[in-house]
Structure 1
Amino acid sequence: MSSSHDLADRPLPRAIFWIAVAFSCFQVWTAAYSPISSQVVRAVHVGFVLLMIFTLYPGRGGRASAALGWVLGLAGFAASFYHWIYEADLTARAGQMTDADMVIGILTIVLVFEATRRIMGWALPIICGIFLLYGLFGQYLPGPFMHRGYGLDQIVSTMSFGVEGIYGTPTYVSSTYIYLFILFGAFLEQAGMIALFSDFSMGLVGHTRGGPAKVSVISSGLMGTINGSGVANVVTTGQFTIPLMKRFGYSSAFAGGVEATASMGGQIMPPVMGAVAFIMAETLNIAYVEVVKAAIIPALLYFGTALWTVHLEAGRKGLHGLPKEECPNPWQAVRERWFLLIPLIGLVVLLFSGYTPLFSGTVGLGLTVILIFGAAVIKGVGNLAIRYLFWVLLGFACAGFIRFGVTDFFVITAVLAVWLLARKHGLSTIGLAIKALAEGARNALPVAAACALVGVIIGIINLTGVAAAFGGEVIAIGENNLFLALFLTMITCLVLGMGIPTIPNYIITSSLAAPILLKLGVPLIVSHMFVFYFGIMADLTPPVALAAFAAAPIARENGLKISIQALRVAVAGFVVPYMAVYSPALMLQGGGVLAVAYIVFKAVLAIALWGAGVTGFLMTPIRWFERIYVILAASLLVAAEPWTDDAGFITAALFLVWHTWRSRRMRRQAMA
C-alpha cells in the first residue's frame, strides 16, 4: 500500500485525473454560486473523496483489488447523492431512520473508516473506532464514564446524517475554506511560486553562516503561507534544501530535521495557515482574522527558533554558507516574478478587511487564474496593443467584481484567462491550469478524509457528554496547579500526535482539554492555540513523526533519527505556548503595546538561551554545567510571576557577561 505522500510523486491515472478535475470544479462552483445546501455540499464532498481514495489506493491484489476499489469508490460516491435526492425527506423525518437510511448510513461509516485507513494507516481509525464502540457499549462501563445507552439507529443517525458526525464542522470546513485554499496553493505552485521562494531565500541568507539550513527554514516558512501543509512542504522544498544542506556539511539526519521542523511550522504561518485554523475559527465562532492575530507572534517565534538553532549548530560545527557569487539576487527574483505575489497580497487584504475566508479564497483563486497565468502570457507578448488590451479587460473584470460580486468576477476572470492563454500558448498552458485543478484535489484527500472520520469523535462526545466526565477528572488533578494541567494537555497532544495528524489531534484534544483550561482561567482562543501548537510539535515527535518520515527518503536517513534532530531544532519553541498561557499578550489577547513588547522580548531571550543550552554553543562552545544553568535561566522566564521574571533576567545577565568574557579570553589565547 502506498503512503499518502507517495501520491505526489506519480502522475494520476487518466480516469482519476478527470475525476479530480471534476471534484475541483464542483468545489469552485459551489463556493462561487452556493447553488445547493451546505448539507449536500458536505455529502458530495465526502463522496468525491471516497471515490478518489478507493481508486488511488486499491490495495494489493492486482486487477481484482483495483476492480473492488472502483466498486467501493462508486458506492461511496453514489451514497452521497442520497442526501441530495432525498434532502427534503431527510429533513422532514430527522432522527427517524428508515431501512434505506440505515443501509446508506452504515455503508458511509464503513467506507469512511476504510478509506481513511488506506490513506493514513491504522492509528486514526482505531482511535475513532474506540469512540464509536464507546457510543454503542459505554452503558456497560463502570464509574463516571458510563452513559445511559444509545441504540444503533441513534448512533447511525448521528454519525451519517445531520451536522454532528461525519458531516459535522470539520467536513464543513474541509468542503469550503480548506479545499479552496489548497487549490489556491496548487495554482501558485504550478505557476512557479516554489522557484520564487527558493531563489529569494537563497539570495537573502544563502551566503551567511549555516546559509543552506536557513534557506530551508525561510523557503518552507514562505511556502507555508500558501499551502499550510507540513508534509507537502517537505516533499516540495525538501527536494532542493535537504541535498543542499548535506552538501555543505550538515548530517543527513539534521538536514531532514531542519526541513521537517520548518515545514510543519507552515501550519501556523499566516495568512493561510493550516486547515486547523479554519476549523478553530468555525468552532469558536470568531472571524478568521482573529485566529491569524493570535498566531502571528508565535509563528514568527517558531521560525525564529529554527533559524537560531541552525545558526548555532553551524557555529558549533564551523559550517559556512555558499559563496556570495553563487547565490541569486533575491530582489531580481522578485522583479522577475512579482505578479505571483498579487493573489497572496489580495488574499491578505481581503482577510484583514473582514471578508470571510470563503469569499477571500474564491477571489484569491480568481486572481490567481488571471494574474498569474494571464500575466505570464502577456509577459511573452511583444505587441504593446495586446498588453494594453489585457489591462483594460482586467479593469473591466475588477469592475465586475465590485459591481456584481464575487461570482461574476470569477466567471469574467476565468473566461478572460482562458482567452489569453489560448491566444498565446494554446492548450499547453490551459493544460497547466487543469493540472492545478487535479493536483488541488489530490492534495486535499488526506485532510478531507481525516476531517470526515474525526467527525465520529465529535458526534460521540456531543451525544454522550464524555468530555464533561473527562474534564472533571483532569480538573481534579490540576485544579490547583495550572502548570500541571498544561503539562497533561501537552502530553495528551504529543501522545495522540504519535499516531494521527494535526487536524484530528487538534479536534480531539480541544474538545476535551480546552474547556478544562477555560475553567482554569485560560482565554478560550489561547487554550485552542496551545493545543494547536503542540499538535504540530507532535508531528515531529518519535516514534511516529509524519513530517520526519516524509523527509527520510529525500535525506536517505532513518526517520527516527530525523525526528530526534527535528526535536533539537524545535525544542526552544516548546516554551512559546506556555508563555502565551501565562501572558496572553503574546497572542495579542489583551494588554497594550508595552505589554506585547515586554512579553515578546522575554520570549526572544528565553528562546535564545534555551537554544544555546540545547545546542551547546553561543559565541563559543558551552560546557555541560553551563548548559544546565542557561536552560534553568530560560525556564524562569516562562512564568509570568514578578519574582521569576526578575530571577530569569538576573541569571541570564550573569551568564551572558560570563560567557562574553570567557569567549574573548578564548579568542585571545587562540591568537597568541
Structure 2
Amino acid sequence: MSTQTEDTDTGNDAPLVVENVDVDVDPIEANRRLFEGSGANVVAVAAMLYAMFHMAALNGLSISNMTGGVVDIGFLPSFPLETWNFRIVHIAGALALGFTLYGARSFAESARDETHTLRYIAYILMMPAIVSLAAAISFQMEIASGVMWNGMDARIRFNETWWFGVPLLVATVGGIVASWFHKRQRHGFSAPDLVLLVCAVAVATYLITIFGTLMRNSTGTPFAPIGMSLAAIAGSLLIMELTRRVAGLALVIISVVFLIYVFVGHYLPGFLNSPRISWQRFFSQVYTDAGILGPTTAVSSTYIILFIIFAAFLQSSRVGEYFVNFAFATAGRSRGGPAKVSIFASGLMGMINGTSAGNVVATGSLTIPLMKRVGYNRRTSGAIEAAASTGGQIMPPIMGAGAFIMAEITGIPYVEISLAAIIPAILYFLSIFFMVDFEAAKLGMRGMRSDQLPKLGDLMRKVFLFLPIIILIAALFMGYSVIRAGTLATASAAVVSWLTPYRMGLFSIGKAFETAGIMSIQIIAVCACAGIIVGVISLTGVGARFSSLLLGLAGFSQLLALFFAMCIAIMLGMGMPTTAAYAVAASVVAPGLVNLGIPQLTAHFFVFYFAVVSAITPPVALASYAAAGISGANPMETSIASFKIGIAAFVVPFMFFYSSAMLMQGTWFEIAHVFVSAAAGIFLLASGVQGWFFGPVAAWLRVVLIAGALAMIAGGFVTDAVGLAVAILAFVVQKRIVRPTDLVRGSD
C-alpha cells in the first residue's frame, strides 16, 4: 500500500481499536461549567425536570392553539396548556439553564484569579432583577382581582415602566456586561449569570401574565402595554447573549444587523426601503408568534426537543456505539475503509443530531484519526467527516429536525416532505462515496484487516439495537403523529437496552433526561434568536420586496434568479446551525421562489439544501472548522476540501427546478428515470472532480467528464444521451487510445 508523506500518521499496520468505541459521550464545551457536589445535583435535577416537562407536555397535555381551540398532540389524558405560555416557558427554561451552565468568558484558574468586585456589583444588580420579578407577580395578582389592564392607563403605564421595565433592563444590561468581565472558577456559580436567570424568569412571568389577558390582541397598537416592549427588549438581549455563548457570534451579528435595519430601513433606497416603525410597536410584536414565539420556537419546543430526548436515550443505551461498530464491520474492509465508515455512521447519527458541527465532534473524534492512520492526509480526513456529517441533515426521516420545520412553515404533510428527501439524500451520499473511493484508489489504499474490525457476526446478533430507528420510521409512515412516533421510539430505546449489558434503570433514564436538557440549550437558543430575524422580516416586509427583486432577475433569466437565491441562502446560513439557517432563509428566499412559479415544496427544498451546505462552504464553514480542530489541519484548507467533496449538494437543488420527479413528484417511471440518470451524472461528476475514471484521468478529459455529468444531471432524454456518449468516449479513451505515459503527465 502506498503512503503519503504530507501530514499523515505513520504506523498504518498497527492494530486499530474500534470495538467499544464511545461515540455516545458528549464533548464538554470550553465554557461549560463543571459543578461539584450539591451544585452539580441541583443543576442535574433542573436539566432533568426541564426535559421531562416537555415529554410530559407533549404526551400528557394538550396545547390550545392561537384561536382558542384545543389541539390534542399526545395520547394520555389531557390538561389544557396554552400555546404561547408553553413556548414562553420553553425559552425561559433554556435561558435559565443556559446562563447557569455556560460562562460568558474563560474561567478563573484559582480563587485568587476571581473578580470579587464584580460579584458584589452583581449582588447589587440582583435587587432590580427581583423588583421586576415582584412587579410582574403583582400585575398578575391585580389582573386576577379584576383590574382591567390597558396600555393607555397612566397608572399602569407608570408601574410597568418604573417598577418592571426599567429595573429589568438595568439588571439585564448590567448582568450581561458584568458577566463579560467576571471571572469565576469552573465549578462555581457566577453571580452575574444568576442575575440573568432571574431576569429570564421575570420576562416569562410578565409575558404569561399579559398574554393571558385580552392584551394579546393589542400588540403593535397604541393600546399595547409598554411592559410588553420592555420585556421583549430584555428577552431579546438575553436570547442573543446566550446564543453568543453556545453558538458563537455569527447569528448574533446577523440578528443585530436585522434589528438595526428595523429603525434605519426607511432611510435606505430601493427594495431595502421599509416603513418607519417605532421601537415600542416593533418590540410589542417581536415576542409573539410573528417572531420569537413563531415557527422556529414552535418546532424547537415540540419536535426538536423530542428528538433530542430520543438521541439522549440512544446515547444512554449505547446504540450510537453500535451504529459505528456496525459501520466498521460492514465497510471497514473496503479501500479507504474508515472514510466510508464515516459516511455511514456520520450520516446516520447526523440525521438525529440537529447540528453538523456537533455531529462532527461526536463521530469525528473516532473516524478522523482512523482515516489518517490508513493514509488520508489531515485535510482530507477532516473534510470527509464534515461533508458526511452535513449530509446527515438532509437524511430522512428526521433530517436533523429540518423536515419538521419545513412542515411547520409550509403546511405540507411531514410524510410528503420525508419521502421527497429520499432521492436527493441518496445522491448526496453517493457523491461522497464516489469521491472517497476515487481518492482511496488514487492513493492506492487498502481496507482495514479483519483483526482490526469488530466481528460482523457478533454485531448481527445485536441487530435488535436498530429497533428504535425502525419503530420511528414505521410509526411515521403508518400515520402516527411525529410526537407519538418519537415517544414510542424513545421508549423502545430503553426497552432494548435490557437486552444488553447497559440496561437503563431509573437512574439511567433520569440521566438521559438530564443529558437531553443540556443538549437542548444550544438549539433552543439559536431557534429563538432566529425568531428575532424572522420577526424583522415579517414586520418590515423585506421578504416581499426581496421576492420582487427575484421576479425582476427572472425576467432576464430564471437560472440567474436561482443562482442569486442560492448565494443569499448560503450567506444567511453561514455560521448558523441548520435549523436556524433554514428558518431565516425560508423567510427571505423561499417566498420569492414561489412567486417565480416554483412549487412550494421545490422552493423550500432548494433553500433548505443550501442552508445545510453552508456548514461546509468557505469562508465560514462551521462543520469544516470543527473537523479541522480534530484533524489538526488548516481550517480554511479543510473547508475548501469539504466543499469539493460535497460538490454534488450544490448541483442537486438545481435538479429540483428542472425535474420535480427528483422530489417524488411524478410517475414511477419518471422518478426511476431521473434517479438513474442523476446517479450516473453524480458518478461522472465525482470522476471529473477527483481525476479518476477507471484510472488516472488527463486534465482535458476531466473537463469532458464534468460536462457529461452536468448533461446527465439535467434529467432529459437528449441530455442523458449526451452524457452517456461522453461516458463511453471517456471509457474508450482510457482503455484504448491514451498511453500510460500520457496519463501520468496529464494527471494530478
With the shorter chain as reference, the TM-score category is 0.7 to 0.9
Contact kept? 2:354, 2:577, Cα under 8 Å? no
Map Cα deviations across residues 606-648 of structure 1 (whole Å, 9 max, x no partner): 1111111111112111111111111111122233455433322
Map 1:626-665; keep pairs closer than 5 Å.
Answer: 626-640=701-715, 643-661=718-736
Map Cα deviations across residues 388-429 of structure 1 (whole Å, 9 max, x no partner): xxxxxxxxxxxxxxxxxxxxxxxxxxxxxxxxx6xxxxxxx4
SS in 2 for 1:547: helix
For residue 611 of structure 1, what is the aligned residue in structure 2?
Answer: 686
Map 1:205-604; keep pairs closer than 5 Å.
Answer: 205-336=331-462, 338-369=463-494, 371-376=495-500, 429-589=505-665, 591-604=666-679
Q: Which amino acid aligns with 1:360?
A: A
Structure with more helix by fraction: 1
Contact kept? 1:225, 1:273, Cα under 8 Å? yes
RMSD over aligned Cα atoms: 2.5
Q: Which amino acid aligns with 2:45?
A: W
- Is 1:104 the counterpart of 2:225? The answer is no
**Structure 1 residues 225 and 468, CA, compared in 2 at 3 Å: closer, same or farther?**
closer
1:168 is matched with which residue: 282, 291, 294?
Answer: 294
**Structure 1 residues 5 and 128, CA, compared in 2 at 3 Å: closer, same or farther?**
farther
Displacement of 1:108 in angstroms is 0.8
Map Cα deviations across residues 471-518 of structure 1 (whole Å, 9 max, x no partner): 111221223422211211111122233333322321222222222222
Q: Which ranges of structure 1 fall in alignment gaps of 5 or more residues?
A: 381-420, 422-428
Q: Distance in 2 between matches of 1:119 and 1:10?
A: 9
For residue 25 of structure 1, what is the aligned residue in structure 2?
Answer: 52
Q: Which ranges of structure 2 fall in alignment gaps of 5 or more residues?
A: 1-25, 62-78, 108-113, 120-181, 183-189
**Structure 1 residues 450 and 38, CA, compared in 2 at 3 Å: closer, same or farther?**
same
- Is 1:81 the counterpart of 2:157? The answer is no
Q: Distance in 2 between matches of 1:592 and 1:8?
A: 52
Map 1:147-158; keep pairs closer than 5 Å.
Answer: 147-158=274-285
Q: Distance in 1 between matches of 2:362 and 2:629?
A: 13
Contact kept? 1:201, 1:215, Cα under 8 Å? yes
For residue 623 of structure 1, what is the aligned residue in structure 2?
Answer: 698
Displacement of 1:210 in angstroms is 1.1
- Range with greater deviation from structure 2 (66-75 or 645-654): 645-654
Q: Distance in 1 between matches of 2:267 and 2:693?
A: 59
**Structure 1 residues 82 and 644, CA, compared in 2 at 3 Å: closer, same or farther?**
same
SS in 2 for 1:637: helix
Q: Distance in 2 between matches of 1:656 and 1:224?
A: 36
Map Cα deviations across residues 437-466 of structure 1 (whole Å, 9 max, x no partner): 122122222211111111122222222221
Q: Distance in 1 between matches of 2:638 and 2:511?
A: 33
Displacement of 1:241 in angstroms is 0.7
Q: Which amino acid aligns with 2:85?
A: V
**Structure 1 residues 301 and 164, CA, compared in 2 at 3 Å: closer, same or farther?**
same
Contact kept? 1:194, 1:237, Cα under 8 Å? no
**Structure 1 residues 93 and 484, CA, compared in 2 at 3 Å: closer, same or farther?**
closer
Q: Which protein shows a greater Rg? A: 2
Contact kept? 2:380, 2:641, Cα under 8 Å? yes
Q: Distance in 2 between matches of 1:574 and 1:547?
A: 16
Contact kept? 1:619, 1:663, Cα under 8 Å? no
- Range with greater deviation from structure 2 (647-656 or 593-602): 647-656
Q: Distance in 1 between matches of 2:235 and 2:31?
A: 29
Q: Distance in 2 between matches of 1:9 and 1:263?
A: 24
Q: Which amino acid aligns with 1:84?
A: I
Displacement of 1:9 in angstroms is 10
Q: Which amino acid aligns with 2:44?
A: F
Q: Distance in 1 between matches of 2:96 and 2:436?
A: 43
For residue 102 of structure 2, what is the aligned residue in structure 1?
Answer: 57
Contact kept? 1:217, 1:306, Cα under 8 Å? yes
Q: Which amino acid aligns with 1:58?
A: G
Displacement of 1:92 in angstroms is 5.6
Q: Which amino acid aligns with 2:192?
A: L
For residue 392 of structure 1, what is the aligned residue in structure 2?
Answer: none
Q: TM-score, normalised by structure 1?
A: 0.86
Q: TM-score, normalised by structure 2?
A: 0.78
Q: Which amino acid aligns with 1:73?
A: L
SS in 1 for 2:646: helix
**Structure 1 residues 49 and 153, CA, compared in 2 at 3 Å: closer, same or farther?**
same
For residue 311 of structure 2, what is the aligned residue in structure 1?
Answer: 185
Contact kept? 1:230, 1:266, Cα under 8 Å? yes
Displacement of 1:251 in angstroms is 0.4
Q: Distance in 2 between matches of 1:554 and 1:105?
A: 39
Contact kept? 1:188, 1:340, Cα under 8 Å? no
**Structure 1 residues 668 and 510, CA, compared in 2 at 3 Å: closer, same or farther?**
closer
Displacement of 1:204 in angstroms is 0.7
Displacement of 1:309 in angstroms is 0.7
SS in 2 for 1:539: helix
Count of aligned pairs:
614
Displacement of 1:657 in angstroms is 2.6
Q: Distance in 1 between matches of 2:348 and 2:249?
A: 32
Q: Distance in 2 between matches of 1:281 and 1:167?
A: 17
> 4+ residue stretches of structure 1 with deviation over 6 A?
8-11, 663-669
For residue 130 of structure 1, what is the aligned residue in structure 2?
Answer: 257
